[in-house]
Amino acid sequence: MEIPEGSIIPEKAGAAKTPFWGFWATTGFGLLVIVASFIAQGLAILVFLLNYLSSHRSAGLSAAMNYVESNLGTITTAALILEVVICIPLIAAFVRLRRSLSFKDYLGLRGFKVKTLLFWLGVNFVYLAVSEGIRYAFKIPQGQSDVALYSTTRYLPLFFVAIVVFAPAFEEVLFRGFMFQGYSSSRIGPVFAIIITAAWWASLHVSAGAYDLAVIFASGLVLGLARWKTGSLLLTFAMHAFWNVLAFITLAAATTA
């Protein structure tokens, strides 16, 4: 069963008017998922710390933290995979609690036409050209945290898969999937849903510089707009993955230059 964006489903008196969680429930469940993502990151760090300390029993805390810093890319790879393993089933559980739609229909996991993909990839190119043009014109440097991740990963192919597949999967399912559906079907409507989910998404990247944070927020607006106009979460995943492929190539070029 597929439900058009923002549609209202007539039900019996006293029942919910839409198949989606409302504004506050969506926010609360979304926050729980974000907390779970932080726990996943913490677990990844803890595992690497314990592994180091088990083989370096005389090492102090300073040496252990230096080990974490020198393996930040590898740890991030593990954290991105753990986020998907922990958080997507959690989102599925929240959807199941609603007892209205399947996971697929709730999130909008529906296909798209090739011409639709080409159009939105074209929008991607225009947006990236503008944002990178501004970076070049004002000599804004590439975020050093991203460069550090690339240069401190031991398994580059796995790092590539993590940022191109796992990171977009978690972030799209949460923000343009679960949270967008809940917000857009509430009183605030799809326009504010796009803005709020873009802000939530940007908040997870606060370590980025001011310009990169603004670019991430604007990227969230573009992804949210695509989600609203096409009704397809798979399309926004493809767009997000495409961006991350280009980001990986940029990092590779910046690191080897």
pLDDT tens digits, 51-85 = 898 888 887 888 888 898 999 999 999 999 999 99
Stretch 100-115: mean pLDDT, rounded? 95
Measured between alpha carbons, how far is 120 from 223 in angstroms, rounded to an integer?
9
Mean pLDDT of the chain: 89
* Contact by Cβ (8 Å): 127, 218: yes
Stretch 19-44: mean pLDDT, rounded? 97
Stretch 214-227: mean pLDDT, rounded? 96
Look at the chain and report how many structural domains it folds into. 1
Domain assignment of residue 5, yes or no: no
> What pLDDT is recorded for position 250?
82
Stretch 191-206: mean pLDDT, rounded? 94
Domain assignment of residue 133, yes or no: yes
Domain assignment of residue 12, yes or no: no
Domain assignment of residue 18, yes or no: no
Measured between alpha carbons, how far is 149 from 156 in angstroms, rounded to an integer?
10
The mean-pLDDT minimum among 89-93, 133-137, 158-162, 168-172 falls in: 133-137
Show the domain range for 102: 23-256
| Vertex 66 angle, CA 60 and 72, to 5° | 135
Question: Does the pLDDT value for residue 13 go beyond 60?
Answer: no
> What pLDDT is recorded for position 21?
97
Nearest alpha-carbon partner for 41 in 194, 221, 197, 207:
207
Domain assignment of residue 3, yes or no: no
Angle in degrees, 0-180, between the axes of helices 144-151 and 72-98, rounded to the nearest 10: 110
> What pLDDT is recorded for position 109?
97
* Contact by Cβ (8 Å): 138, 214: no
> What pLDDT is recorded for position 86?
97
Stretch 224-250: mean pLDDT, rounded? 94
The mean-pLDDT minimum among 86-100, 151-165, 211-225, 240-254 falls in: 240-254
Domain assignment of residue 10, yes or no: no
Measured between alpha carbons, how far is 1 from 75 in angstroms, rounded to an integer?
40
Here the tokens at position 118 are 């080409």
* Contact by Cβ (8 Å): 44, 75: yes
pLDDT tens digits, one per residue of 108-149: 999 999 999 999 999 998 998 999 899 889 988 877 677 788
Cβ-proximal residues to 210 (8 Å cutoff; 6+ apart), any chain: none
Measured between alpha carbons, how far is 182 from 176 in angstroms, rounded to an integer?
10
Here the tokens at position 134 are 């501004």
Stretch 200-205: mean pLDDT, rounded? 92
Domain assignment of residue 17, yes or no: no
Question: Could you tell me the pLDDT band of residue 7, with boundaries at 50, 70 and 90?
Answer: very low
pTM, two decimals, is: 0.89
The DSSP letter of residue 173 is I
* Alpha helices (runs of H) in the chain, residue ranges in sequence order: 23-55, 61-70, 72-98, 103-107, 114-137, 144-151, 156-161, 167-171, 180-184, 189-203, 210-230, 233-256
* Contact by Cβ (8 Å): 73, 148: yes
Stretch 211-240: mean pLDDT, rounded? 96
> What pLDDT is recorded for position 257?
59
Domain assignment of residue 35, yes or no: yes
> What pLDDT is recorded for position 8?
36
